[in-house]
Amino acid sequence: MQKEQWDEAMQAAVAECLENMAFMEVFPAGPDAAEPEDPAWVSLLVLEPTQGEFRLALSRPLLDAIGANIYGFDTEMTDRQSADLLAELLNTILGRFMGAILPMEAFKLGIPEAGTADWPPIEPEASHWHFTAEEHPLSIIVSGAPILQLRDS
């Protein structure tokens, strides 16, 4: 699979997820796009049929806007709801992406882990995508040599 196919698969996965779950339009942003400030982030390991890590980071205002679209505008999300929403977003994006790059393959995932500190360092060889939704930044990173070999094959 070529990098362009990976990019297309990730753009489609993110767009479908946010359009279907939160009724938001998503736009790709360039590689120079700013990372979300004070991001809410979550990571999820892919265990089978290959291994890798997916991370989703988005600005807290974007997370709040997504939550308002899902739970209602007059409902304030709890910390637990925010963590669950982040995990569900990443699960959905990852599922759509993996289905596109490895059709007909079953995959096994770890348990989503919410970020508790600053955004972790990004490996130089990782795939990194930037998007905007509601004029707020959103980033996805895929790392880990086994899964990245699929991109480079």
Average pLDDT in the 1-8 region? 86
Per the structure, the complete domain to which residue 140 belongs is given by 3-152
Q: Kindly report the CATH number assigned to the domain that includes residue 126.
A: 3.40.1550.10
Q: Match 């995508």 to its residue by tokens.
A: 129
What pLDDT is recorded for position 55? 95
pTM of the shown model = 0.91
* 1: pLDDT strictly greater than 70: no
**pLDDT above 90 as % of the chain:** 64
| pLDDT tens digits along 28-87 | 998 777 777 778 999 999 999 999 999 999 988 999 999 998 888 777 888 899 999 999
CA 136 vs CA 8, 14, 40, 84, 107: distances in Å: 21, 14, 12, 20, 31
Which residues, in sequence order, are CB contacts of 69 under 8 Å at separation 6+? 22, 23, 24
Instruction: Tell me which of 19-33, 47-61, 92-106 is least confident.
Output: 19-33
Domain count, the chain: 1
* 5: pLDDT strictly greater than 80: yes
**Class of residue 113 by CB neighbours under 10 A (exposed 0-12, middle 13-18, buried 19+):** middle
What pLDDT is recorded for position 153? 77
Q: Output the six-digit token pair for 62.
A: 């974007």
Q: What is the mean pLDDT of the chain?
A: 89
Alpha-helical (H) ranges within 23-132 are 60-71, 79-101
| pLDDT tens digits along 112-140 | 998 877 777 788 899 999 999 999 999 99
